[in-house]
Chains A and B, each alone.
Chain A
Amino acid sequence: MAVCVAVIAKENYPLYIRSIPTENELKFHYMVHTSLDVVDEKISAMGKALVDQRELYLGLLYPTEDYKVYGYVTNSKVKFVMVVDSSNTALRDNEIRSMFRKLHNSYTDVMCNPFYNPGDRIQSRAFDGMVTSMMIQVC
């Protein structure tokens, strides 16, 4: 259902990005890249208001003609961005939330790997598989 999943490091460079229509990967790169503006803005806005509230889900970042871009930020300012097809109306906010939570859990697993260098591109097969499952899963 997700067409593109990206993990962005604290310093705003991609740790992981994968999209399903691989032929137009660059488009999603652009999309995720520009969404960071909104993420930044939301984080800075949240920084003031919601310090205590552990709401990591950023909600819809921006809609485009065909896609919706959702964001999620961990406490360590690692961002998850998910691009979802707009036509998929069945997808509710709650489902997006749970997908992000799954993504976060999987990312935590990656970080637990003692052989993973924080800051490197994620090449974990388990993480990859999880993302794939999220992409394929058709509602």
Chain B
Amino acid sequence: MSVPDYMQCAEDHQTLLVVVQPVGIVSEENFFRIYKRISSVSQISVRDSQRALYIRYRHHYPPENSEWGDFQTHRKVVGLITITDCFSAKDWPQIFEKFHVQKEIYGSTLYDSRLFVFGLQGEIAEQPRTDVAFYPSYEDCATVEKRIEDFVESLFIVLESKRLDRATDKSGDKIPLLCVPFEKKDFVGLDTDRRSKWEGSLQWWRGKGAVHWVSDFLKLSGTDFAALEGLCSASVIYHYPGGTGGKAGARRFPGSALPAEAANRHRPGALTTNGINADTSTEIGRAKNCLSPEDIIEKYKEAISYYSKYKNAGVIELEACVKAVRVLAIQKRSMEASEFLQNAVYINLRQLSEEEKIQRYSILSELYELIGFHRKSAFFKRVAAMQCVAPSISEPGWRACYKLLLETLPGYSLSLDPQDFNKGTHRGWAAVQMRLLHELVYASRRMGNPALSVRHLSFLLQTMLDFLSDQEKKDVTQSLENYTSKCPGTMELLTLPDGLTLPPVPFTKLPIVRRVKLLDLPASLRPQKMKSSLGPSVSAKSPFIYSPIIAHSRGEERSKKIDFQWVQGDVCEVQLMVYNPMPFELRVENMGLLTSGVEFESLPAALSLPAESGLYPVTLVGVPQTTGTITVSGYHTTVFGVFSDCLLDSLPGIKTSGSTVEVIPALPRLQISTSLPRSAHSLQPSSGDEISTNVSVQLYNGETQQLVVRLENIGMEPLEKLEVTSKILTTKEKLYGDFLSWKLEDTLAQFPLQPGKVATFTISIKVKLDFSCQENLLQDLSDDGISVSGFPLCSPFRQVVRPRVESKPVNAAEGGRPGEPCHVKTLEAVLNFKYSGGPGHVEGYYRNLALGLHVEVEPSVFFTRVSTLPATSTRQCHLLLDVFNATEHELSVGARSDEELILHAGECQRMAIQVDKFNFESFPESPADKGQFANSKHLEEERQEARGLEINSKLDIHWTIISFSQTRGASVEGLLNQLVLEHLQLAPLLWDVLVDGQPCDCQAAACRVGDPVRLEVRLTNRSPRSVGPFALSVVPFQDHQNGVHSYDLRHAVSFVGSGTFYLDKVQPSGQAACLGALLFLYTGDFFLHIRFHEDGPSKELPPSWFCLPSVHVRALEAQA
């Protein structure tokens, strides 16, 4: 006996062993169909007896195992059933012959046999035979069970008769000694004396044993039990020839007494609902001679220790161990059971075949499982799995190996669902688990199921990433790539043939995503809601301005929803912060977004992350195709050929600022290009708006440039609306005039702008900054002696080239000196293009495109100093400007298309412009009326500005860089101070001197000698107050043109009447005049200097108010 039956359990001791075998060619399917039906007859109550017979069927049983049948009868084959196919009568003899051969094999122990013939009909089948049954087909064999019952009964009868024989037969001496097979060989040397001692017992055993004592054993009555004791002792003596004498009685119990009890528990029918222990204890209590549960184990141990002394009894020992474990498992005594098992592991049988090894390990694993040692069970299962594919096996059973390996997973607390690993760090026996996964991968590969191995390998990589060494990471990914080249990893559920499903393994750690952020559209494409439609929608939500309850619920909403919108048809971006945990470059392909809610066209990206990279931003893009609310639920990747769908919800430790965004209907897209070069120079961050394009231009102060803006609709929707606004960013520079001006009408005429169409739009840029120098320069120069109220200059264009200024020009361009006005000033402005169209416009959205304009203003000319000189006419004056050329070019400066003044680079010259005085009072004073409490200073500034504008338009100073031949304007606004203004202003007291009724201002009035000349001084009061009275005296003098004025003209001029005029008080806007007459006695040129008397109220008034024209009278020869 060499093949252990691991399935054996204690109750098998009470069964009869019947072997069922096919003869000839019988298909497996048919055989097992019949076998199943036969097996169903496992328990039979024999007629006329309360005894139940248990039958154990085997379709495979090595005949040599029967050898131990004498020792334990349940090992003996007592019945044989053969099944055969036979379709023609002529085959019959042959088949019958085979049946006999089969019988011979088990012959020695066989009590009876049967042959089931299928398919044969006719004569032979008609013959009634007890040992042969004929059936027409496998379907038509209703009486099989009945036949079996008969067969079993016949077995019983044989046994029973044998028992009766033994019981009556007194000649016990003749009975041969029972011995185990290996004893037969060395029977010599046995103590025959001893043997005689236990002959009595033996005889007893014989008697009972012939009837198959185990079946007897079921009903342990007091009397029966006494008989069994003897029986047990006999068996113990048998396997212990050394002799243990009187002690033997109890000894054999483990082998026999136990089964009864165990049987009760193992048989489902014998189990009571009360539970096992209670049942057995009561039963044991009743059967007083039965052993207690503790004793059973004791006896088992004893028995096994006896068995273990014989090498040849290994199988018996092993089986006993197995049986004992099964008993212990029921008793829930795991520790002891494990000891038995431990022992069983060490039992060395003869060289086992591989298959037997597998069987043995599997059984060990099963038994460990039975006693709750899951880890140990898993260990042996794994060993069994490895045995399946041992190198010594010619045809490795990878499938079986894989199946066994799968069964070990729970033992290693490993599940194949990656979801279970998402909760925090993985905690387990990483080294052991990794090994198992590797084995699974290998087994599945060898099984020829690459999809499985890819799945397992991805699982390994995903879940064990933290435990893999760098080298292992490389190896695993390498092999994964190899596998996926044949069979790419998918996100589908893999189902194994036996029903197990393998969930997909998304690579959430390759790369690891730390943060997901939905990005707003770039500022230029960001949709904005028109304000008008926003109002009602907000108020409709709640009648309250503020309610904490609503605010709370809204806050929750907001936590998921982001407060910007995406636009249908526009590329939208999601930024992921990822990092690569691998020690090598990670190539992620086909990385895209997973979304729901809106039809979304994801545009996958491929990226390559450097080894062990830090956080690395990745932008995934896509285009929403419809409108609605879109939710970004995750992303998909292809790494190492494995497709993964990673859902954000299941990612641990991810930061997200919401994943839901509203998609609004499509809007047109505007692209702007300009005639100016783009600049890298970005506007100051304080500007607030995000500017898509920046253009820059360099202009000289006073220059004007046209900016042509090319508007192209690059979207899919027609551009229907366009609004342009500009915003000049705060600048320190004071700007005169309109910086930017445009006419939108021409452009709008081309609207709506269809996709792909272009419109142009022109903006003129005019830079007019302060042309003055720093004030200190002005003050610096104001001391050079030109009196503001000085005498009239005869030649207004007299150039005053002073040595001071001469010293300047060379260095001027370098601008090193403080107050040197050479530095470049910048002006910045933002042009906002608000446009809309298409369905988005219907919904009330528009877009805003901002164009940044950066203007660098280079200094052109400066007016370093300004002063006035009264002109010959009181209504005019000369404005003197010191013009400084700050450019590097030669330029000409002129005013009112008068004479041009050529200035070399860095040169400073004075130019004088004769101007009519201004009557500023004629300007509307409305601002003053409106803001009574307005800042007077501000008011004054405003007024001054208005004046400046007026003056400037009158002056029309322009300059030209000669080489460019382009005329640019200049302005004096900035440098007009109060003093100059006062002089430029027409005095509120308007004095007119009339000579002979002719107004006399600059030209000489002619008169005849001897004729009295009427002189009238007229005063028009434009000031808001009444002035006067004034006393005026007329002083005539002669200018000799050599600097000598002779005032002593008493002989030449005489007054007719008083030489002093008197003007009465003049009311506002009133007029007064005083008359006098002069008589010129000689010819000549005379000047009249009208002077105010020093006394009176005139002192309160500014002197410039009393600027009377000097009268030039030419006295001519009296006509004859």
Residues of A within 8 A of B (CB): 9, 11-14, 25-26, 29-30, 33-34, 36-38, 41-42, 45, 62-63, 65, 119
Out of A11, A33, A38, A63, which one reaches B335, CB within 8 Å? A38
On whether A33 and B432 interact (CB within 8 A), knowing A38-B335, A41-B372, A41-B373, the answer reads yes
A45 x B335 contact (CB < 8 A): yes
In the bound complex, how far is the Cα of B427 from the Cα of A14, in angstroms? 8
Chain A neighbourhood of B435, CB < 8 A: 26
Contact with A along B913-955 (1 / 0, CB 8 A): 0000000000000000000000000000000000000000000
- Asked if B429 is at the interface of the complex by the 8 Å CB criterion, the answer is yes
- In the complex, which residues 336-385 of chain B have their Cβ closer than 8 Å to any Cβ of chain A? 338, 342, 346, 368, 372-376, 379
| Of A11, A13, A65, A119, most B-chain CB atoms within 10 Å | A13
Q: How many whole Å from B405's CB to the nearest CB in chain A?
A: 14
Q: Contacts A26-B432, A30-B432: A37 and B374 contacting too (C-beta < 8 A)?
A: yes
* B374 CB, min distance to chain A CBs, angstroms: 7
In the bound complex, residues from chain A placing their C-beta under 8 Å from that of B374 are 37
**Does B428 touch A at the CB level, under 8 Å?**
yes
B379 to chain A: which residues have CB within 8 Å? 30, 33-34
Between-chain CB contacts (< 8 Å), 13 pairs: A25-B431, A29-B432, A33-B379, A33-B429, A33-B432, A34-B376, A36-B375, A37-B368, A37-B375, A41-B372, A41-B373, A62-B342, A65-B346
Q: Give bound CA distance, A29 to B338, whole Å.
A: 20
Most B-side CB within 10 Å, residue of A29, A33, A119: A33
Is B334 at the interface (CB under 8 A from chain A)?
A: yes
Q: Is the CB of B338 within 8 A of A62?
A: yes
5 shortest interchain CB distances as A-B pairs? A37-B373, A13-B427, A34-B376, A29-B431, A34-B375
Which residues of chain B come closer than 8 Å to A38, judged between CB atoms? 335, 338, 373
B-side residues, CB < 8 A to A, are 334-335, 338, 342, 346, 368, 372-376, 379, 412-413, 427-429, 431-432, 435
> Interface SS of chain A: helix, strand, loop or mixed?
helix
Q: A60 to nearest B CB, angstroms?
A: 11
Residues of A within 8 A of B335 (CB): 38, 41-42, 45
Select from chain B the residue with minimum beta-carbon distance to A35. B375
Kindly list chain A residues whose C-beta atoms are within 8 Å of the C-beta of B429: 13-14, 29, 33
The residues of B that contact A26 with a CB separation of less than 8 Å are: 431-432, 435
Q: Is the CB of B375 within 8 A of A13?
A: no
**Which residues of chain A come closer than 8 Å to B338, judged between CB atoms?**
37-38, 41, 62
CB proximity of B93 to chain A, nearest CB, Å = 58
Do A33 and B427 touch across chains, with their CB atoms under 8 A apart? no
Given contacts A11-B427, A41-B335, 17 further A-B contacts (CB under 8 A): A26-B431, A29-B431, A30-B379, A30-B432, A33-B412, A34-B373, A34-B375, A37-B338, A37-B368, A37-B374, A38-B335, A38-B373, A41-B338, A42-B335, A45-B335, A62-B338, A65-B346
Q: Which residue of the partner chain B has the closest CB to A119?
A: B427
Closest to A38 in B: B338
Complex Cα distance A12/B368, Å? Answer: 18
Contacts of A119 in B (CB 8 A): 427
Q: Once the chains bind, are B372 and A33 in contact (CB under 8 Å)?
A: no
Q: How far is the CA of A13 from the CA of B427 in the complex (A)?
A: 6
- The distance in angstroms between the C-alpha atoms of A26 and B431, with both chains bound, is 7
- Measured in the bound complex, the distance between the Cα atoms of B373 and A9 in whole Å is 18
Chain A's closest residue to B435 (CB) is A26
> What CA separation (Å) do A66 and B12 show in the bound complex?
36
Chain B residues, Cβ within 8 Å of A65: 346
Distance, CA A42 to CA B338, complexed state (A): 12
* Smallest beta-carbon distance A76→chain B, Å: 16
Q: A33-B375, A34-B376 in contact; A41/B334 too (CB < 8 A)?
A: yes
Q: Which residues of A contact B346 (CB under 8 A)?
A: 65
CA A19 to CA B135, docked complex, whole Å: 68
A101–B429 Cα distance when bound, in Å, is 25
Output the nearest chain A residue to B373 by Cβ-Cβ distance: A37
A13–B412 Cα distance when bound, in Å, is: 10
Q: How far is the CA of A61 from the CA of B427 in the complex (A)?
A: 24
**B335: nearest chain-A partner, CB-CB:** A41
- The smallest C-beta distance from B97 to any residue of chain A, in angstroms, reads 52
Closest to B412 in A: A33
Bound-state CA distance A12–B413 (Å) is 10
> Are B431 and A13 within 8 A (Cβ)?
no
Shortest Cβ distance from A36 into B: residue: B375
Looking at B342, B346, B368, B432, the one whose CB has the most chain A CB atoms below 10 A away is B432
CA A9 to CA B427, docked complex, whole Å: 10
User: Are the C-beta atoms of A13 and B376 separated by less than 8 Å?
Assistant: no
Complex-state Cα separation, A26 to B338, whole angstroms: 23
Q: Measured between C-beta atoms, what is the minimum distance from A121 to chain B in Å?
A: 10
Residues in B whose Cβ lies below 8 Å from that of A62: 338, 342
A12 to B433, CA, bound (A): 14
A91 to B582, CA, bound (A): 46
How many whole Å from B346's CB to the nearest CB in chain A?
A: 8
Return B599 CB to nearest CB of chain A, in Å: 46
**Complex Cα–Cα for A9 and B342 (A):** 26
Which residues of chain A come closer than 8 Å to B432, judged between CB atoms?
26, 29-30, 33
Residues in A neighbouring B368, C-beta threshold 8 A: 37
Enumerate chain B residues within 8 angstroms of A9, measured Cβ to Cβ. Answer: 427
A42 to B372, CA, bound (A): 12
CA distance A76 to B431 in the complex (A): 25
* B residues near A13, Cβ cutoff 8 Å: 427-429
With both beta carbons as reference points, the residue of chain B lying nearest to A11 in the complex is identified as B427
B residues near A14, Cβ cutoff 8 Å: 429
Closest to A45 in B: B335
B342 contacts which chain A residues (CB < 8 A)?
Answer: 62-63
In the docked arrangement, what's the CA distance between A80 and B209, Å?
54
A92 to B338, CA, bound (A): 24
Of all chain B residues, the one with the shortest Cβ separation from A120 is: B425
**How far does the Cβ of A139 sit from chain B's closest Cβ, in whole Å?**
26
Task: State A66–B200 Cα separation when bound (angstroms).
Answer: 48
Chain A residues whose C-beta falls within 8 Å of the C-beta of B376 in the assembled complex:
34, 37
Among A14, A34, A62, chain B packs the most CB atoms within 10 A around the CB of: A34
Q: In the complex the two chains form, what is the Cα distance from A36 to B346 in whole Å?
A: 21
Query: B428, B429, B435: which has the most chain A beta carbons within 10 Å?
Result: B429
Closest Cβ–Cβ distance, residue B430 to chain A (whole Å): 8
Residues of A within 8 A of B428 (CB): 13
Q: How far does the Cβ of A49 sit from chain B's closest Cβ, in whole Å?
A: 12
Chain A hits for B373, CB < 8 A: 34, 37-38, 41
* Residue in A14, A63, A65 whose Cβ sees the most chain B Cβ within 10 Å: A14
Residues of B within 8 A of A34 (CB): 373, 375-376, 379
Residues of B contacting A29 in the complex (Cβ-Cβ under 8 angstroms): 429, 431-432
Query: Closest approach, in angstroms, between the C-beta of B424 and any C-beta of chain A?
Result: 9
When chains A and B are docked, how far (Å) is the Cα of A12 from the Cα of B432?
Answer: 13
- Closest chain-A Cβ to B383's Cβ sits at a distance in Å of 10
Among A30, A42, A65, A119: residue with most chain B CB under 10 A: A30
Q: For residue B357, give the distance in angstroms from its CB to the closest CB of chain A.
A: 17
Q: B338 → chain A, closest Cβ, in Å?
A: 7
CA distance A37 to B378 in the complex (A): 11
Q: Which residues of A contact B372 (CB under 8 A)?
A: 37, 41
Residues on A with beta carbons closer than 8 Å to the beta carbon of B431: 25-26, 29
CA distance A26 to B438 in the complex (A): 13
> In the complex, A119 Cα to B431 Cα: how many Å?
17
Closest Cβ–Cβ distance, residue B145 to chain A (whole Å): 45
Q: How far is the CA of A70 from the CA of B701 in the complex (A)?
A: 95
Task: Name the residue on A nearest B341 (C-beta).
Answer: A62
Closest residue on chain B to residue A15 by CB atoms:
B427
Docked complex Cα distance between A41 and B371 (Å) = 10
Q: Give complex CA distance A26, B412 in Å.
A: 14
| CA distance in complex: A45, B332 (Å) | 11
- Could you tell me the distance in whole angstroms from the C-beta of B184 to the nearest C-beta in chain A? 34
Q: For the complex, give the distance between the alpha carbons of A65 and B375 in Å.
A: 19
In the complex, A63 Cα to B372 Cα: how many Å?
Answer: 19
Q: Across the interface, name the chain A residue whose C-beta is closest to B413.
A: A12
Docked pose: A35 CA to B428 CA in angstroms: 15
Tell me, rounded to whole Å, the shortest Cβ–Cβ distance linking B344 to chain A. Answer: 13
Residues of B within 8 Å of A36, CB to CB, are: 375
CA distance A33 to B431 in the complex (A): 11
